[in-house]
Amino acid sequence: MATRLSDVAARAGVSVKTVSNVINDYPHITAHTRAKVEAAIADLDYRPNVSARSLRKGRSDFIALAIPEMASAYFAELGAAFSRAAKRRGITVLIEQTEGEPAAEQMVLDGMRGQLIDGIVFSPITSSQAKISAAVGSGKPIVLLGERTTGGTFDHVAVDSVQAAYDATTHLVSLGRRRIAAIGVGGGGASGTGAVRRRGYRKALKAAGLPHDPALELAGTGYHRLDGAASMRALLELPEPPDAVFCFNDLLALGALRTLADAGLSVPDDVAVVGFDDIEDGRYHSPSLTTISADKDWLADQTVALLLERIAGSGEAARRNLTVPYTLEIRESTAG
Amino acid sequence: MATRLSDVAARAGVSVKTVSNVINDYPHITAHTRAKVEAAIADLDYRPNVSARSLRKGRSDFIALAIPEMASAYFAELGAAFSRAAKRRGITVLIEQTEGEPAAEQMVLDGMRGQLIDGIVFSPITSSQAKISAAVGSGKPIVLLGERTTGGTFDHVAVDSVQAAYDATTHLVSLGRRRIAAIGVGGGGASGTGAVRRRGYRKALKAAGLPHDPALELAGTGYHRLDGAASMRALLELPEPPDAVFCFNDLLALGALRTLADAGLSVPDDVAVVGFDDIEDGRYHSPSLTTISADKDWLADQTVALLLERIAGSGEAARRNLTVPYTLEIRESTAG
DNA sequence: CTGAAAGCGCTTACAG
DNA sequence: CTGAAAGCGCTTACAG
């Protein structure tokens, strides 16, 4: 029914091999032949069947990006960046929402899409490295996103969260703040975002000679606005509330800002606030949000490049860790 | 290399047909046979090759969702809803970012993914209905999202924007506002969001016996926070600034709120603000944003259902228009 | 239920 | 460059 390669060949008066050569940009084709084939393709409105190509070649030029949720600003922006990065390289990214559910993450690891995808970029929440190692049944290359846990056996791309958290906290110290709270110390699941960023936070306090008060470390249940708002409320009820808060992502910070606004407190005068992620909402919020800004386009581009390298087959090469560059963006929430 | 259907058949001691029957849940298989086959599948860690299946069946169980940008909150939330709706029906959605570029939209229409996808949900920006009609070369079913332009020949899912805009404006009228501005009248490209919502806006003014002041209709260049902020600044410079603003999406409204905050004006006392889309940022903003809230899950679910119906082949059935239910969510930006 | 076989539309050695 | 053919891994009539 649909026009096939052989139809094009017939119309152009060449062999299927020649048509295939033209489509795949192989050399040794005269301009004349190429023109004939291209005319036939245009005439017949022919488009190659990617299922057939993929079946034959064992490659689909599809990669999967498995993230917890795509509606959440950070991951939405990340997904967009991956989508663009993949397109630049002529491949397509398939976005999988795991919703942080173990079953969905397991499906990803089980090599979902039965051979359709060439490789996976995976941002795990509930799956530990060990679980991932055990479960990679697909044999497909996989690159992990997110906090780097020790002893990982996979390629990995991440921000140096300890250093970034250190920088964020030190910035608050430099403003003269002395009771600096942390929100989100329990979050991030097995990927350990909470634990890793807390390490940097504590390190900065110690370096500044500030006491470490466990009452100022809030775990919360998630990494969304509601969690940040609730944690901030809890902090305000303390006998000695904080004069600054480092939130482990921007959504937590935006929630905290909401609580502070409702309480009639001034930011940054009463409480300074720093986030992490640099999502668009924070940039335009009033007050705008000081935050750790990792380069999402760099991240996406390098990750795709690394994955494609693995797909191409440098399987023997050693595991690679990429560290994403970041900056501390100082805005109104810490700088009046 | 990878285990094949025939490997499973060999191990289970049955025919490939039987294995295929088990995998595809066909009837007439004894529990005993099924158990044998499933054991073999588990033993061999077999997963069907979807390229082969897709090539053979002419169906992939993939649909595409083509949207202007996935990082923008509304579309991110919509993408997430489609992703869930598709998963519930056992299919996968491939999200394409057109970035509102004609070339990218054309690629979508050209039946991108060469036969891989079974159908398309398309939210056009630059492509007119006529262009779409002319370009649907893929022969794949297509469902359009967004404002309904007259004379469309495609299945279409949309909010009744005229009525929603009417409701939003009437709500501002009911608060006693008399100089009600509109931001975003020029947006939405060929899909006509700006024009359609302006119709409802004007209708409401007329119904309320209010004069229609062209100076209060702001076009702007896009539908983002920056555009809303700029338009609001222009409105505040008017000799008679407005006492209320209806923004044609939430991002515009959030930008407008930022300008109002910077200007030291009180919302809603000085200026009441209404948005459109009900994105999460608006719900948690301070003040929280009154907005038109369409049911995104309903939209996604019904759209996927309609598309699957078309794919299944009820081609002769008449074109369908689905109207997405919505509510006006009254929050702080209009109700102090 | 089984078994043998065709065919979906490509790519790719192979012989020329 | 061409032409004829095999084969990627499925599904699906077909005959039993």
| Interface check B151 vs A, CB under 8 A | no
Q: Could you please report the per-residue DSSP string of A250-316?
A: HHHHHHHHHHHHHTT--TTTT-EEEEES--HHHHHSSSPPEEEEE-HHHHHHHHHHHHHHHHHT-TT
| Interface check A116 vs B, CB under 8 A | yes
Check residue B1 and give its pLDDT.
52
Check residue B336 and give its pLDDT.
65
Q: Tell me the shortest Cα–Cα distance from B99 to chain A, in angstroms.
A: 10
Are B128 and B96 spatial neighbours (Cβ–Cβ below 8 Å)?
Answer: no
Check residue A182 and give its pLDDT.
98
What pLDDT, in 10s, does the model give residues B117-168? 899 999 988 777 767 776 666 678 899 998 766 567 889 999 999 999 999 9
Max Cα–Cα distance, chain A, nearest Å: 86
Residue of B nearest to A85 (CA): B97
Q: Quick one: which of A325, A258, A181, A113 has its CA closest to B60? A: A113
Q: Is the pLDDT score of B253 beyond 90?
A: yes
Are B94 and B55 spatial neighbours (Cβ–Cβ below 8 Å)?
Answer: no
Of A50, A79, A95, which has the smallest distance from its Cβ to B116's Cβ? A50
Instruction: Report the pLDDT averaged over residues B226-246.
Output: 97
Q: Is the pLDDT score of B215 beyond 60?
A: yes
Q: Predicted confidence band at B286 (pLDDT cuts at 50, 70, 90)?
A: confident
* Residue B221: Cβ within 10 Å count: 11
> In chain A, what are the domains?
5-48 (1.10.260.40), 60-158+296-324 (3.40.50.2300), 161-294 (3.40.50.2300)
Residue of A nearest to B84 (CA): A97
What pLDDT, in 10s, does the model give residues B166-211? 999 999 999 999 999 999 998 766 558 899 999 999 999 999 999 9
Q: What is the DSSP letter of B205?
A: H
CA B97 to C1' D7, in angstroms, rounded, equals 36
* Residue B29 CA to its chain's centroid (Å): 42
Burial class for B300, CB neighbours closer than 10 Å (0-12, 13-18, 19+):
buried
In degrees and rounded to multiples of 5, residue B222 shows phi and psi of -150, -165
Rounded (10°) CA dihedral A55, A79, A87, A315: -60
What pLDDT, in 10s, does the model give residues A284-336? 898 999 999 999 999 999 999 999 999 987 556 788 999 999 999 999 999 96
CA A18 to C1' D1, in angstroms, rounded, equals 8
Q: Mean pLDDT in chain A? A: 89
Beta strands in B264-311 (DSSP E): 272-276, 290-294
Check residue A189 and give its pLDDT.
64
- In percent, the amount of chain B with pLDDT more than 70 equals 92
What pLDDT, in 10s, does the model give residues A258-286? 999 999 999 999 999 999 999 999 998 98
A84 touches strand C (CB under 7 A): no
Q: Which residue has the higher pLDDT, B194 or B290?
A: B290
Using a CB-CB cut-off of 8 Å, the residues of chain A touching B116 are 50-51
Using a CB-CB cut-off of 8 Å, the residues of chain A touching B95 are 79, 83, 95
Cis peptide before B287 (omega within 30 of 0): yes
Q: Look-up: residue for tokens 């995808």?
A: A117
B320 touches strand D (CB under 7 A): no
pLDDT < 70 regions, chain A: 1, 27, 111-114, 130, 134-138, 148-151, 188-191, 314-316, 336
Check residue B314 and give its pLDDT.
56
CA A53 to C1' D1, in angstroms, rounded, equals 23
B66 touches strand D (CB under 7 A): no
Check residue A84 and give its pLDDT.
95
Are A60 and A48 spatial neighbours (Cβ–Cβ below 8 Å)?
Answer: no
Complete edge-to-edge strand list for the sheet that includes strand A155-159:
A92-97, A62-67, A119-122, A142-145, A155-159, A321-324
Check residue B282 and give its pLDDT.
94
Q: Which strand (E) or helix (H) includes residue A142?
A: strand A142-145
Instruction: Report how far residue B118's alpha carbon sits from residue B107's, in angstroms, rounded to the nearest whole number.
Output: 16
Whole-number Cα distances in Å, B135 to B106, B108, B188, B257 = 8, 10, 21, 41
Instruction: Report how far residue B177's alpha carbon sits from residue B188's, in angstroms, rounded to the nearest whole number.
Output: 27
Residues 14-73 of chain A: which lie with beta carbon within 7 Å of strand D? Answer: 14-18, 28-30, 32-33, 52, 55-56, 58
Q: Say if strands B155-159 and B321-324 run parallel, antiparallel, or are unpaired.
A: parallel
- The SS3 assignment for A10 reads helix
Q: Could you please report the per-residue DSSP string of A187-228?
A: -SGGG-HHHHHHHHHHHHHHHTT----GGGEE--SSSSHHHH
Q: Quick one: which of B252, B326, B308 has its CA closest to B140? A: B308
Question: Which amino acid is present at B141?
Answer: P
| Interface check B128 vs A, CB under 8 A | no
Q: Mean pLDDT in chain B? A: 89
Check residue A233 and give its pLDDT.
97
CA B56 to C1' C7, in angstroms, rounded, equals 8
- In percent, the amount of chain B with pLDDT more than 90 equals 59
Instruction: Report the pLDDT averaged over residues B242-264.
Output: 96
Check residue A149 and give its pLDDT.
64
Beta strands in B227-308 (DSSP E): 244-247, 272-276, 290-294
Whole-number Cα distances in Å, A94 to A86, A91, A113, A306 = 10, 10, 10, 17
Rounded (10°) CA dihedral A120, A121, A124, A127: 30
Instruction: Report the pLDDT averaged over residues B85-101.
Output: 91
